[in-house]
């Protein structure tokens, strides 16, 4: 059977979940050595596409939102428009 709301398969056995209150926030940082703006943009796009952590299943447990931002070596924010432009250049075939 499938969940009509989320479009995923329902669990076939019972499991126990740890549930956190709505609005719980976790924070962290990833130190990277990515110097190519296109690859940094690709890494940010991947992080921002995360929508669940753990066994989300059909009940919606584990649904989340990841807010990722890039900082340069001087800890200043990197402009998302610059990263998007570099990422578009990565998709173009090279001669």
What does pTM read for this prediction?
Answer: 0.67
The tokens describing 23, both together, are 């609005």
pLDDT given at position 95: 63
Per-residue pLDDT tens digits for 51-78 = 887 765 666 667 788 889 998 888 899 9
The tokens describing 54, both together, are 């753990």
Non-local (6+) Cβ contacts of 54 within 8 A are: 61, 62
Per-residue pLDDT tens digits for 4-47 = 777 777 767 666 666 777 788 888 888 888 888 999 999 999 99
pLDDT given at position 7: 78
3-class DSSP state of 9: strand
State percent of the chain over pLDDT 90: 23
């Amino acid at each position: 059977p499938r969940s009509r709301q989320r479009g995923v398969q329902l669990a076939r056995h019972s499991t126990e979940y740890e549930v956190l209150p709505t609005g719980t926030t976790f924070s962290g940082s990833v130190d990277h050595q990515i110097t190519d703006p296109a690859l940094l943009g690709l890494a940010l796009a991947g992080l921002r596409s995360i929508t669940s952590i753990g066994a989300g299943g059909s009940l919606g447990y584990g649904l989340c939102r990841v807010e990722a931002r890039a900082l340069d070596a001087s800890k200043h924010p990197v402009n998302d428009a610059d990263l998007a432009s570099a990422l578009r250049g990565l998709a173009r075939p090279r001669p």
